[in-house]
């Protein structure tokens, strides 16, 4: 049997390999504390679950759901963008529900990228930007995100000839893995460059509603001219604690939305109707609980930041996302530290290198476990760091 070169040459999805290692430890009876993955541990509110269950009782709810989401879901997404960001969207032409935003991030490359085209990708960044580009036969140009620039890419440092070959640029704020946020001026400059060089801006914004200390994250689409040059991906996974439901959306430029719909309608057949009903309930129901939920995350964040700093890590206090991006203690590489902590402390933190070469020297630590568990993880890490040498 011969596996296609496209797949043979593709690096495996790094999180999948780690999940196997963690499972093996658990089978041996070890309790691993997983601070590696940004999967919200709290459930969505009961009214959301009830809406889904009620919809599932309807005998007609089990047929094929259609390719573009229900009109109710597309309207609910448009209403969310109006209420949350002041952005008006046409639910028919500018909104496309996704089976979780990750599939959209991958499939949009098939809509935009031809063999040899360049896609600008942040480094460190969510791995699917890169893998989607490679699957479509494109070339990745990494834009380093550096602490001294607030983890924003230096848009002026991209060589002219790269801009000329670029068909798309990924941006992601609030940022995974660094926790950084972007001002609207950054998006304004991006729109100018996208117009000038004729590339599509792909803004990935799933953490817009996981914010702290009064910070309100904007949408790329708030900027004038944005919808002429780009789309935004969003998700119910983090905003509404619905990661397992797999409901996301692409919104913005109608031409890109149409091209992505063309790809997807040939690949999948939409989202189970009761899940769409639950998603509508989440988007249209009371939103106050989100603030309360963010308060829980904030408390965990503070315990984690203080604990990591006391152990010799260096990190900023993130104003958004579920992650602390911490420089590892002197002498360690990201991979060596993450491996040692998994093997000897049963604590998993994601090495920054999983997100690209500029992630060297950092780990991403998620606060998707309760405060008690964070404290226990910190105590285990302290014990191992005292004994282990880099």
Interaction site with ligand PLP (CB under 6 A) = 38, 100-102, 126, 172, 176, 204, 206, 235, 237, 243, 248
Cα 229 to Cα 220: distance, rounded to the nearest angstrom: 11
Q: List Cα–Cα distances, 263 to 68, 70, 71, 347, 371, in angstroms.
A: 12, 18, 20, 40, 43
Question: Residue 246 Cβ, how far from ligand PLP at the closest point, in Å?
Answer: 7
Q: Count of residues for the chain? A: 390
Question: Residue 247 Cβ, how far from ligand PLP at the closest point, in Å?
Answer: 8
Specify the residue, 102 or 327, whose C-beta has the smaller distance to ligand PLP: 102
Question: Residue 311 Cβ, how far from ligand PLP at the closest point, in Å?
Answer: 25
Specify the residue, 38 or 252, whose C-beta has the smaller distance to ligand PLP: 38
Residue 196: other Cβ atoms inside 10 A: 9
Q: Please, which residues have CB within 8 angstroms of residue 4's CB and are 6 or more apart in sequence? A: none
Question: Residue 239 Cβ, how far from ligand PLP at the closest point, in Å?
Answer: 10
Question: Residue 195 Cβ, how far from ligand PLP at the closest point, in Å?
Answer: 25
Question: Residue 97 Cβ, how far from ligand PLP at the closest point, in Å?
Answer: 11
Specify the residue, 271 or 326, whose C-beta has the smaller distance to ligand PLP: 271
Specify the residue, 172 or 253, whose C-beta has the smaller distance to ligand PLP: 172
Cα 224 to Cα 216: distance, rounded to the nearest angstrom: 19
Specify the residue, 74 or 102, whose C-beta has the smaller distance to ligand PLP: 102
- Note whether 371 and 36 are within 8 A (CB): no
CA dihedral 170, 241, 375, 319 (to 10 degrees): 50
Residue 66: other Cβ atoms inside 10 A: 15
Specify the residue, 101 or 219, whose C-beta has the smaller distance to ligand PLP: 101
Cα 306 to Cα 313: distance, rounded to the nearest angstrom: 10
């Amino acid at each position: 049997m011969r596996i296609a070169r496209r797949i043979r040459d593709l690096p495996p999805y790094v999180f999948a390999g780690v999940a196997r290692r963690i499972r093996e430890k658990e089978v041996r009876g070890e309790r691993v504390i997983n601070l590696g993955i940004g999967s919200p541990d709290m459930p969505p509110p009961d009214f959301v679950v009830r809406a889904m269950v009620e919809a599932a009782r309807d005998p007609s709810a089990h047929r094929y759901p259609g390719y573009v989401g229900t009109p109710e879901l597309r309207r609910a997404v448009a209403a969310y963008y109006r209420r949350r960001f002041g952005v008006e969207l046409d639910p028919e032409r500018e909104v496309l529900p996704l089976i979780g935003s990750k599939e959209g991030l991958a499939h949009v490359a098939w809509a935009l990228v031809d063999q040899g085209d360049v896609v600008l990708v942040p480094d460190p960044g969510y791995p699917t930007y890169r893998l989607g580009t490679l699957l479509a036969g494109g070339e990745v140009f990494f834009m380093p995100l550096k602490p001294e620039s607030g983890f924003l890419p230096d848009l002026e440092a991209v060589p002219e000839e790269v801009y000329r070959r670029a068909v798309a640029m990924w941006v992601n704020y609030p940022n995974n893995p660094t926790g950084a946020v972007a001002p609207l001026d950054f998006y304004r400059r991006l729109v100018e460059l996208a117009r000038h060089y004729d590339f599509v801006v792909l803004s990935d914004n799933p953490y817009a509603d996981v914010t702290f200390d009064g910070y309100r994250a904007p949408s790329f689409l708030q900027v004038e001219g944005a919808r002429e040059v780009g789309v935004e991906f969003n998700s119910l996974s983090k905003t509404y604690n619905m990661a397992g439901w797999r409901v996301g959306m692409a919104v913005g430029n109608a031409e890109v939305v149409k091209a992505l719909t063309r790809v997807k309608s040939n690949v999948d057949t939409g989202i189970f109707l009761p899940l769409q009903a639950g998603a509508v309930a989440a988007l249209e129901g009371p939103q106050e609980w989100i603030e309360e939920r963010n308060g829980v995350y904030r408390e965990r964040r503070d315990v984690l930041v203080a604990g990591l700093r006391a152990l010799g890590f260096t990190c900023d206090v993130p104003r958004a996302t579920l992650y602390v991006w911490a420089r590892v203690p002197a002498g360690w590489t990201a991979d060596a530290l993450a491996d040692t902590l998994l093997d000897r402390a049963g604590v998993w933190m994601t090495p920054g290198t999983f997100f690209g070469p500029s992630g060297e020297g950092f780990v991403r630590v998620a606060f998707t476990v309760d405060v008690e568990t964070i404290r226990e993880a910190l105590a285990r890490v302290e014990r191992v760091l005292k004994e282990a040498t880099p």
